[in-house]
């Protein structure tokens, strides 16, 4: 089981960075949308 997880992580290492950047961008947009009504 651990061998399969390691193999999958190694194969998808190129996309993990892009996914992490995308998740961070979504969090920034969510926080911005939540704080926007308080600024107006």
* 38: pLDDT strictly greater than 90: no
* 40: pLDDT strictly greater than 80: no
- Per-residue pLDDT at 25: 98
* 7: pLDDT strictly greater than 80: yes
Question: What total of structural domains would you count in the chain?
Answer: 1
Domain extent, residue 21, equals 2-39
DSSP state string for 1-40: -HHHHHHHHHHTHHHHHHHHHHHHHHHHHHHHHHHHHHH-
- Per-residue pLDDT at 33: 93
**Residues contacting residue 16 through CB under 8 Å, at least 6 positions apart:** 9
DSSP 12: T
Tokens at residue 20, please?
A: 């992490």
* 37: pLDDT strictly greater than 90: no
Q: Which one, of 19, 26, 25, lies nearest residue 9 by Cα?
A: 19
Distance of CA 20 to the CA centre of its chain: 3
């Amino acid at each position: 089981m651990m061998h399969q997880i390691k193999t999958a992580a190694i194969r998808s290492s190129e996309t993990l960075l892009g996914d992490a950047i995308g998740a961070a961008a979504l969090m920034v947009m969510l926080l911005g949308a939540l704080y926007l009504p308080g600024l107006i």
